[in-house]
Structure 1
Amino acid sequence: NFTLSSPVNLTVKFLKQYLVIINGVSSWYNKGSTIVLNANVPFYMVGEFVGTYNVSPGSSIVIYGPIKETLVEHVNYLVVGLIAGAVTLTVVAVVVVLTKYFP
């Protein structure tokens, strides 16, 4: 509280802030600030933040309004297929070697 005894010009400075929700966690950020959407996605998965911008993990976003992003993960079928193929080739190679030396 304060009391004014004579006319005074007041200048009020403010920073505009926006609500940012990432994976259900809410935070307020100043307009123009930058955030990075990080996520630990397993090597056999592909991640994407879906919502306001739809960007990959590691992307930077400049705050110009409210933002809501949710990490969505999908199986990386290429990696899983390569692993399955490598395992299959290894098993076949072991079987061939064993049948050759232990008929």
Structure 2
Amino acid sequence: MERLVKTNLDLIVLRLLKEKPRWGYEINVEIKDQFKVYLSAGTLYPLLHSLEDKGFLEGVWKPEGGRGRRIYKITPKGEEFLEAGERALRRILLRWGK
């Protein structure tokens, strides 16, 4: 399961962000809860920065108490990428089902 999650991590993160904006730690907790896979900061945060550089998500700093959080939300370009990725995965699964 871990390999499958990490291979499709960009789509998983974008799907979570389509549900609602989240900060990095919240994304990691959700992935751990749903898939029983722990992501190190060295895995998750470079991916978030890469997705932001590609225009698939947008991060905004929000002050919270004494420490700020970067809240990420999916962009329209990210939604298009997510939809295309989900279609491709569905096609693969349908072929396996035959």
TM-score range, shorter chain: under 0.3
Larger RCO, structures 1/2 (Cα 8 Å, 6+ apart): 2
Q: Which has the higher helix share?
A: 2
Question: What TM-score do you get using the length of structure 2 for normalisation?
Answer: 0.26
TM-score scaled to structure 1, two decimals?
Answer: 0.25
By percentage of residues, which structure has more strand? 1
Task: Specify the structure having the higher radius of gyration (Cα).
Answer: 1
